[in-house]
Amino acid sequence: MIQDRRDFLKKSTYSTLLGLVIPNIPFAKSSPTILSPAEGGLPDWKNKELIILSDKPWNVETPPHLLDDKVTPVEKMFIRNNGLVPEGNIDVNTWTLTIGGESVKTSKTYKLKDLKEKFKHYTYQLTLECGGNGRSGYFPQTSGNQWDQGAVSCAEWTGVRLKDILADVGLKEDAVYIGYYGKDIHLSRTPNKSVISRGVPIKKALEDETLIAWAVNGKDIPLEHGFPLRLVIGGWPASVSGKWLDKIVVRNKEHDGEKMSGHSYRVPINPIEPGEKLAETPENFKIIEAMPVKSLITYPKTGAVIDTGKTITLRGHAWAGDLAVKEVAVSLDYGVSWKKCNLEAPKNRLAWQHWSLALDFSQKGYFEVWVKATDSKGITQPMVIPQWNPGGYLNNACHRIAVKVV
């Protein structure tokens, strides 16, 4: 019986479950492994079940069952880096943030102490999701880290509003975009070479929830997550939330920093055939802005073995970019019928919402639990992989887990 359960767990994780939607699983042979610190892995304070996709730079995924907390603990947060973590000792007393660019009235430089003393502090729970979360579902396989479902978090961030800082420096009428710069190290180790410098339109930058943060869940941001200062922008690809922040520029045009061109964080304007090559020009690609509606099952863990007649309360989270989630539903019969879930209101705008549903598993056998969310505009998650794109972005297909009732 123990061996049968082990075989079931293995199959449900890699083959049975995914094979439903994707006949071929080209990434199955290169499935990521879980590494320990002794193997040159993550710091000791990180959860040992995190999945390391790459270590130079760090790209680390959280299995869905570890995302069961309403507020994501830092030890369970995914990591998506484009370069190397800054080296050496970081002195918070000398760290500065410069606000400049062609569309500010006065360029200013602030010490961390200045930010804390001059501006009012705010705390928000903010959903951060990698634009490539779910990339492993696309066929043909696209370039980039093959994220499954765990490149998402919703932690509690504390800092000052970017809008308040921008009011202090003053904006010119031609301001249309902001861009960030950080002190991460380029993989080539070329001095002063930008690793990633992305941004958002000025309207998004001026939202109340756009923070310059120094704390997460009430403590200093860990180095791996951007210590000592990070831009945090919820609801859009997490790549706009720059780490190790030391400069923000206000632009009179769309920001043109590193990872803002080609198909980086962009999708085709018109649908294309899977695998089709497309010239990477602004005429063909548009920048990803708000993330699509999505949901996740965090309990039980896929592969769970349940006793007949037992009632299990399923639970998880749902989010919808700039919008709220209106409804979450679960299916046990491959989408033939759906049961509406209990859905909590978000803690604040741009925070994920928690859902739950008690189910009585009275019949023996193999079941798949599907979940789908609908946003406040009535848009619902697809049950299959959405339109293919060269970057493997925006896969918001229904999450599903396998359970066995014995």
pLDDT digits (tens, 9 = 90+) for 268-319: 999 999 999 999 999 999 999 999 999 999 999 999 999 999 999 999 999 9
Paired tokens of 145: 């880290």
CA distances from 113 to 163, 165, 208, 226 (A): 18, 14, 21, 17
Window from 12-21, 71-80, 238-247, 351-360 with minimum mean pLDDT: 12-21
Pairing of strands 121-129, 199-201: unpaired
Taking residue 262's Cβ as centre, other Cβ atoms within 10 Å add up to 12
- Residues above pLDDT 70, as percent of the chain: 90
Residue 151 has pLDDT above 50, yes or no: yes
Residue 71 has pLDDT above 50, yes or no: yes
Identify the pLDDT of residue 40: 46
CA distances from 36 to 42, 50, 53, 103, 301 (A): 7, 9, 13, 47, 21
Residue 356 exposed, middle or buried by CB count within 10 Å (0-12, 13-18, 19+): middle
pLDDT digits (tens, 9 = 90+) for 155-176: 999 999 999 999 999 999 999 9
Mean pLDDT of 108-129: 98
Report which of residues 194 and 3 the model is more confident about: 194
Identify the pLDDT of residue 41: 64
**Cβ-Cβ contacts under 8 Å for 88 (sequence gap 6 or more):** none
Window from 5-9, 19-23, 325-329 with minimum mean pLDDT: 19-23
Report which of residues 26 and 395 the model is more confident about: 395
CA distances from 262 to 33, 58, 102, 241, 306 (A): 31, 23, 24, 20, 48
Identify the pLDDT of residue 42: 80
Return d(Cα 203, Cα 342) in angstroms, integer. Answer: 33
The single residue listed with the structure tokens 């210590």 is: 227
Mean pLDDT of 332-339: 96
Residue 218 exposed, middle or buried by CB count within 10 Å (0-12, 13-18, 19+): exposed
Residue 242 has pLDDT above 80, yes or no: yes
Mean pLDDT of 106-110: 98
130 in helix, strand or coil? coil
Identify the pLDDT of residue 19: 36
- Under the banding of pLDDT at 50, 70 and 90, the label for residue 227 is very high
319 in helix, strand or coil? strand
The single residue listed with the structure tokens 């056998």 is: 365
**Cβ-Cβ contacts under 8 Å for 244 (sequence gap 6 or more):** 85, 86, 182, 183, 184, 226, 227, 229, 230
Mean pLDDT taken over the chain: 91
Identify the pLDDT of residue 43: 86
Return d(Cα 41, Cα 348) in angstroms, integer. Answer: 35
